[in-house]
Amino acid sequence: MEGFFWKTWLVVAAFAIGGTSSLPHKPLTYEEAVDLAVSTYNGKSGEESLYRLLEAVPPPKWDPLSESNQELNLTIKETVCLVAEERSLEECDFQDDGAVMGCTGYFFFGESPPVLVLTCEPLGEDEEQNQEEEEEEEKEEDEKDQPRRVKRFKKFFMKLKKSVKKRVMKFFKKPMVIGVTFPF
């Protein structure tokens, strides 16, 4: 009788432990999460070229077993491979002048199924604008011998050009937000 009691207690304890520790998703390591974010961007962004991981900043405490929200930050860069080619990212070299995107991703494991929200913005365009402004200022200095009226018109049109360019860039520079659910 005593042996039966202990066997029953062991079975009940095993079910109790097994029932409380099961996750609604499989454990996800940081590297797997980054790979999933990059493949999601490549699949959902609508870009012609594939993007590959340039840098990932691991959070101080990534818990693969967590059911709470997890954040990741990464930088991706455009490669020479096209999305239509369906090649492995390891085969694709970075483009020399390829676009660089800064991305922040949030995994919501408390949802059923889990959700990934990825926000990516272009990086490095401010440097290009500063370089163009310096070149324009150099041109203005070279043209100081012109009449006052010509200088005023040039200055007016330069301001107008900068304003239009800034508004157009602001319109097209909106961050891309991608939200997906994924089964585990």
CA-to-CA distance for 175 and 158, rounded, in angstroms? 27
Kindly report the average pLDDT of the chain as a whole number.
76
Contact 59, 70 (CB under 8 A): yes
Task: Region of 18 please: left (phi>0), alpha (psi -120 to 50) or beta.
Answer: alpha
pLDDT in tens, 131-157: 566 666 666 665 666 677 777 777 777
The three state secondary structure string of 75-111 is EEEEEEEEHHHCCCHHHCCECCCCCEEEEEEEEECCC
Residue 158: helix, strand or coil by DSSP?
A: helix
pLDDT in tens, 116-126: 899 998 887 65
Q: Is the pLDDT of residue 40 over 70?
A: yes
Q: Is the pLDDT of residue 17 over 60?
A: no
Percent with pLDDT over 90 in the chain: 21
CATH 3.10.450.10 for domain 26-125+151-181, yes or no, is yes
**Domain ranges for the chain:** 26-125+151-181
Q: Is the pLDDT of residue 23 over 60?
A: no
pTM for the model stands at 0.62
